[in-house]
Amino acid sequence: MFSKILIANRGEIAVRIMRTCQEMGIRCVAVYSDPDRRGMHVGAADEAYALDGVTSGETYLRQDKIIEIAKRCGADAIHPGFGFLSENASFAEACAKAGITFIGPKPDAIRSMGDKIIAKETLSKAGVPTVPGFTLEGDTASGDAVIKQLKKRCGEIGYPVLIKAAAGGGGKGMRVVNSEGEMSEALEAAQREANSAFGDSRVFVEKYLSKSRHVEIQVFGDTHGNVVHLFERECSIQRRHQKIVEESPSIALTPELRERMGAAAVAAAKAIGYVNAGTVEFMVDDVGEFYFLEVNTRLQVEHPVTELVTRRDLVKAQILVAAGEPLPFTQDDLRQEGCAMEVRIYAEDASRGFLPSTGTIGVYVEPVGPNIRVDSGIAAGSDVSVHYDPMLAKLIVWGRDRGEAIARMDRALREYVILGITTNIDFLRAVVTHPKHVAGEIHTRFLDENPIAMGNDDVPPDEAWIAGVLAAQSGGTRQTSRVGDESVEVGPWQTAGAWKAY
Partner 1 sequence: MKVELRHSSSESAQTIALERMADDACAFEAIIDDRLIPVDIESNDSGGGRMRIGGRVHRYHVLRRDNTLHVWVDGRTYQFERIQATARRAGAAGSAKSANQLAAPMPGTILKINGNAGDAFDAHAPIIVMESMKMEMSLSAPTNVVLTSVDCQVGQLVEMGLVLARLEPVADAE
Decide: helix, strand or coil at residue 356: strand
In this chain, which of 72, 97, 125, 500 binds partner 1, going by CB under 8 A?
A: 500
Contact positions with partner 1 (CB under 8 A) in 303-342: none
E strands, 222-275, are 227-239, 242-248
The DSSP symbol for 424 reads: S
Separation CA 311–CA 304 (nearest Å): 10
Residues 20, 277 contacting (CB under 8 angstroms): no
- Rounded to a whole number, what is the distance in angstroms from the first to the last CA of the chain? 57
Binding marks (x or -) toward partner 1, 170..209, rule CB under 8 A?
Answer: --x------------x---x--xx--xx------------
SS3 assignment, position 477: coil
* Rounded Cα gap, residues 362 and 28, in angstroms: 28
Site string (263-302) toward partner 1, x via CB under 8 A:
----------------------------------------
Site for partner 1 in 380-399 (CB under 8 A): 386-390
- Give the interface segment with partner 1, choosing from 61-69, 73-81, 268-276, 460-468 (CB under 8 A): 460-468
Question: Is the CB of 353 or the CB of 492 nearer to partner 1?
Answer: 353
| Residue range at the interface with partner 1 (CB under 8 A); choices 20-28, 309-317, 361-369, 433-441 | 361-369
User: Please, what sign has the CA dihedral across residues 377, 10, 115, 92?
Assistant: negative
Q: Are strands 363-366 and 480-483 parallel, antiparallel or unpaired?
A: parallel
Mark the segment that binds partner 1 (CB under 8 A) among 141-149, 158-166, 227-235, 354-362.
Answer: 354-362
491 binds partner 1 (CB under 8 A): no
For residues 142, 147, 148 and 149, what is the CA-based torsion angle, rounded to 10 degrees? 80
The span from the CA of 242 to the CA of 160, in Å, is: 19
Q: Among residue numbers 72 through 111, which ones bind partner 1 (CB under 8 A)?
A: none
Q: For partner 1, which residue of 240, 311, 335, 436 counts as binding (CB under 8 A)? A: 240
Cα separation, 110 vs 96, whole angstroms? 14
**434 lines the binding site for partner 1 (CB under 8 A):** no
Q: Give the binding range for partner 1 (CB under 8 A) out of 35-43, 109-117, 202-210, 351-359.
A: 351-359
- Cα separation, 336 vs 310, in Å, equals 5
Q: How far is the CB of 446 from partner 1 (least distance, A)?
A: 20
Is the CB of 435 or the CB of 455 nearer to partner 1?
455
Q: Is 139 a binder of partner 1 (CB under 8 A)?
A: no
CB closer to partner 1, 29 vs 51: 51
For partner 1, the closer of residues 230 and 421 by Cβ is 421
Nearer Cβ to partner 1, position 212 or 357? 357
Among 4, 149, 474, 483, binds partner 1 (CB under 8 A): 474
Binding test (CB under 8 A) with partner 1, winner from 401, 451, 489, 502: 502
How far apart CA 251 and CA 254 sit, in angstroms, is: 8
User: Per rule CB under 8 A, is residue 255 in the interface with partner 1?
Assistant: no
CA neighbor of 139 nearest in space, from 222, 199, 224: 199
Distance CA 310, CA 329 (A): 11
- Piece of the chain touching partner 1 by CB under 8 A; list 126-134, 273-281, 349-357, 442-450: 349-357
SS3 content of the chain, % helix, strand, coil (to 5): 35, 25, 40
Backbone angles phi, psi at 56, to 5 degrees: -55, -40
Instruction: Please tell me what DSSP assigns to residue 180.
Output: G
Whichever of 238 and 276 has its CB closer to partner 1, that residue is 238
**In this structure, are residues 398 and 336 in contact, taking their beta carbons and an 8 Å threshold?**
no
Q: Does 453 contact partner 1 by CB under 8 A?
A: no
Catalytic residues: 298
Q: Which of 64, 144, 401, 458 binds partner 1 (CB under 8 A)?
A: 458
Alpha carbon separation from 467 to 93, 218, 470, 501 (Å, rounded): 56, 46, 5, 11
Binding mask 204-233 for partner 1 (x = CB under 8 A): ------------------------------
Q: How far apart are CA 485 and CA 70, in angstroms?
A: 38
Interaction of residue 169 with partner 1, rule CB under 8 A = no
Shortest distance, position 337 Cβ to partner 1, whole Å: 29
Using CB under 8 A as the binding rule, whether residue 413 contacts partner 1 is answered as: yes
Print burial letters for 309-326: b (CB count within 10 Å at least 16), e (below 16): bbebbbbebbbbbbeeee
Interface contacts to partner 1, rule CB under 8 A: 172, 185, 189, 192-193, 196-197, 240, 351-353, 355-358, 362-363, 365, 386-390, 413-415, 417, 419-420, 425-426, 429, 455-476, 478, 480, 482, 487, 498-502
